[in-house]
Amino acid sequence: MTLDATFWVTISFIIFLGILIYFKIPQKIKETLEQNISNIRNQINEAEQLKEDAKNILAEQEKKISNSKIEVGELINKATEEAEKNVIKTNENFHKFMENRKKSAEERIRQLKNQAEKDIKNAAVKIAIKSVEKLLKNSLDKSKLDKIYSSSIEETKLALKKKSS
């Protein structure tokens, strides 16, 4: 029997497989591969869990943003309403103030008009009295003046009696 290279390769291969089996290399390779597969599965599961957590956080943040937008809209509406109310109130107060000033000015004008009328009447009476005095001094003598004085006193007494009755 000739032993050729194929025979020796086959024998060395069988010995090599025997050594591998003796030292449990296939089991160690299998365990290492299973451990790597398990680690990869754990990492995938962990990544999926992180992905779900991120989706939940994103949904919460979007909800918060939506609620914030609604709140901001409400605050803007409230501020606008308050501003409108303040403008209306200020406008009403201004109109009331101006109406009061107008009434006050009208009352002051009325008072000044009445005072002016009184002043004019007083001046007219003074002028009339001075004119009558001049006329009397120039045209009447003492006896006529006494008669006019007596008659005016009598007329005044009669007028007072009529008013008191």
| pLDDT tens-place string over residues 29-82 | 899 999 999 999 999 999 999 999 999 999 999 999 999 999 999 999 999 999
148 close to 140: Cβ distance less than 8 angstroms: yes
Distances in whole angstroms, Cα of residue 12 to Cα of each of 47, 81, 139: 47, 96, 179
**Contact present, 26 and 20 (Cβ < 8 Å):** yes
Let me know: does 165 contact 157? Beta carbons within 8 Å. Answer: no
Distance between CA atoms of residues 42 and 40, nearest Å: 5
pTM surpassing 0.75?
no
